[in-house]
Amino acid sequence: MYNILAVVMMALQVFILIRGFIRIRRYIFDICGYLNILFAVFFTLPAWDLFYGGGYFVHKVADFSVNPTQSDVMKYIVISTTIALLFDFGYFLGNRTFAYKVGDSRLLNIKAETTYNKNSYDLICFLLFSFWLYIMYSAYRTFGRSLLLFIMPSRKKEIYSGFSSMMQLVIPEVLLALSFVRHWDKRKIIIPSIFPLLMLLISVSSSDQRREMIHGIIFCGLLILIKYFNILGDKEGVERVLKKRPWRKYAITGIAISVALIPLLWYARNYSNQLTRGEVTVNPFSLHSFTDLIFGSSSTGFDTSLVVDWYDNTYGGLFFHCIRYFTTFWIPRAIFDGKTIQITLLIKLARGDWGNLSLFYINDLYFSFKYLSVIFVPLMGYLLSKIYNRASSSRDIKNVIFSIYIFSQVVLLFKNGVSVFFIRITLFYMIFSLANYFGQHVKVTH
């Protein structure tokens, strides 16, 4: 029985993987294509290793040893594969209204005639910077140690505010985006962006999240590449630039660098953690191999499924969690003290401090909707497709940058789940749009 079911699940997972490559071949920045590949590699390989008892990966989430029965493992292999297919189906339905023939040219031939209200623009940037500085100072005071250790990528148990930790990352990203909009018609754009880049580097480093570093690299890299290739398009023509197919070469290079960063950033963080405690006692390279760090429980979602299942069976209350978390996030805790918090924080409160758990989009969707996943998971995929494709098909520089921001969040969507993802892109869009509206006026020409 299990052998037949295993063959069927493997076939479906190979189908998901192939779908991912087909999507990316059609459009190199297809979010669902990358989600499919991430699922097929980082979710399914550890799952089959656990099912067959291969022992190639470490199956332990913090101090929770994952030791399920074979039937439990197969149950969540079926569930996770079904959720991935449903999300892909919803994304496909949303894509049908956007012609794939646009392809890689979506992010080329972007023009903008910009008029500035310099005083308003500078005032908004100053206010955003001041708010960011206040957040960072408050976090530093809560941390209670040296400034150098605060900036270093070490674990910071003392800092818990979800809104503050998110704003400290979003504000530098907004300032960086504003810098690109303001200087879009100029060749030299790096120098005006140095200050927001430094802010983002400090925020990412102090956040102690490898995924934030990867997101930052993708976001900044794509902003620079989009600007560079639009300059080429102006000089040589869009068709000639597309004929060279520059996106694919840089995308493959970026993906390879991002995967390599997963273990390298963990080693750096482990070293910083030891410095925070006052001394280096263990060589980080002796703790885990590259394979453990890339495919181990802390970097995949399958083992986390079993942990969330334990919490749901013990405490319950996760039904419609992702929707409740999104809707109550915006209410200050001083007004609504009982508002919903992330599932990972609920687990940490139930079992003590576990460090940085990752929820993953598969777990967020399934445990939020259970048997209603057949309806709501395709809707989530459809919603993401509509938002992303509408932004990336636009020639409005503001929308183009928003689409770049959404794409750069693909790793965070995979690891953090849909609720945190939609909160993050909504927060960025709101601040970016308001700052853009009050600080400058952009009129796009075709």
Tens-digit pLDDT string for the chain (446 aa): 678 898 999 999 999 999 998 888 877 788 999 999 989 888 888 888 888 877 666 666 555 665 677 888 888 899 999 999 999 999 988 877 554 444 455 555 565 555 667 778 788 889 999 999 998 888 777 766 666 666 665 555 544 557 788 888 899 999 998 888 877 766 666 666 788 888 888 888 777 676 777 788 888 888 877 777 665 555 544 445 555 555 566 666 766 676 666 666 666 666 666 665 556 555 555 555 556 655 554 545 677 888 888 888 888 888 898 999 999 888 887 788 778 888 888 887 777 655 567 788 998 999 999 889 999 999 999 999 999 988 887 777 788 889 889 998 988 898 888 999 999 999 999 999 888 877 765 444 44
Q: What is the pTM of this model?
A: 0.84
Kindly calculate the radius of gyration of the chain based on its CA atoms and give it in whole angstroms: 22
Element (H, E) at 362: helix 361-369
Orientation angle between helical segments 162-182 and 418-439, nearest 10 degrees: 40
DSSP 6-37: HHHHHHHHHHHHHHHHHHHHH-TT-HHHHHHH
- Confidence (pLDDT) at 278: 59
Give the C-alpha separation, 331 to 90, whole Å.
30
Q: Which two tokens stand for residue 76?
A: 């969540």
Element (H, E) at 277: helix 246-277
- Confidence (pLDDT) at 381: 94
Question: Residue-wise over 301-326: b if at least 16 C-beta within 10 A, else e?
Answer: bbbbbbbbbbbbeeeeebeebbbbbb
- Confidence (pLDDT) at 216: 83
Give the C-alpha separation, 27 to 29, whole Å.
5
Give the C-alpha separation, 204 to 213, whole Å.
6
Residue 377 amino acid letter: V
